[in-house]
Amino acid sequence: MNIFVLMKKTFDTEEKIQVNGGAIEEEGAEFIINPYDEYAIEEAIKIRDEHGGEVTVVTVGDEDSEQQLRTALAMGADKAVLINTEDDVEDGDQFTTATILEAYLKDQDYDLILAGNVAIDQASGQVGPRVADKLDIPYVTTITAITIDGEEVHIDRDVEGDVEKVRTSLPLLVTCQQGLNEPRYPSLPGIMKAKKKPLEELEIDDLDLDEDDIEAKTETTDVFLPPEKEAGKVLEGEIDEQVSELVSLLRTEAKVL
């Protein structure tokens, strides 16, 4: 079974992020594999181990994305592909990424494509479904379980806290949600093996695309941090006095009553 995983390098939101002039400062920022993509990588490895085949992790990004691809290889993926857009894409969006990925995948022999449900930096959740639409294959989002029996696939997907049962067939694209599995940490042997695993680097020209084909359809007008939380208030006095003060604050300050 040929399995592809769509991976993105994202900011580590556990670390402090600096915003300057309406953009996140990349200098000194920490980058990681998008956490939802880790679920996709883990599930791809488990499916390969059960059904055979190989796992290829693909990302669209710059040369620094090689570090995250090597991490995916250390987790157990077989191959990695970096589509380097550093010199060709200045301000891309989800349309840009999906177009590039489709141009690569359309020439591949794929059975299953996995992606994270969302990326934690922009959280649009669009890339996976856009790629599936361009490839004209079925897709299921926010999956929490997947079982493959020949060409038939049985899926559980999260729907606002409930579970929807889906039956479909290969080839297929799915986006992965928390609860699907517990991503493994790269082991020392895995890290050593990752250094020898193939990592292919492509550019836009290799995919027969030009800049007009991948021009962004949206524009980010501003990026800003949320306002700092104000200190809370401690209500004092008897219970009825606290309730009266709380109601007054909700009406006059919070304006929710």
Question: Stretch 50-77: mean pLDDT, rounded?
Answer: 95
Residue 242's contacts (CB-CB under 8 Å, 6 or more residues apart) are 235, 236
Question: How confident is the model at residue 139, as a pLDDT?
Answer: 97
Rounded to 5 degrees, what are φ and ψ at 243?
-65, -45
| Alpha-carbon span 133 to 208, nearest angstrom | 20
The reply to whether 23 and 53 lie within a common domain is yes
Domain count within the chain: 2
Mean pLDDT of the chain: 91
Written as one letter, the residue type at 15 is E
SS3 248: helix
pTM of the model: 0.85
The reply to whether 121 and 244 lie within a common domain is no
Q: pLDDT tens digit string along 140-189?
A: 999 999 999 998 999 999 998 899 999 999 999 999 999 999 999 999 99
Question: How confident is the model at residue 22, as a pLDDT?
Answer: 66
| Alpha-carbon span 97 to 95, nearest angstrom | 6
SS3 72: helix
The reply to whether 166 and 233 lie within a common domain is no
The reply to whether 57 and 130 lie within a common domain is yes
Is residue 221 in a domain?
no
Question: Stretch 31-39: mean pLDDT, rounded?
Answer: 94
Is residue 220 in a domain?
no
Range of the domain at 257: 229-257
Residue 149's contacts (CB-CB under 8 Å, 6 or more residues apart) are none
The reply to whether 64 and 109 lie within a common domain is yes
For the chain, the straight-line distance linking the first and the last C-alpha, in angstroms and rounded, comes to 58
**Degrees to nearest 5, angle at CA 91 with 58 and 226:** 95
What whole-number percentage of the chain has pLDDT above 70? 97
Question: How confident is the model at residue 100, as a pLDDT?
Answer: 95
Question: Stretch 109-131: mean pLDDT, rounded?
Answer: 92
The reply to whether 255 and 175 lie within a common domain is no
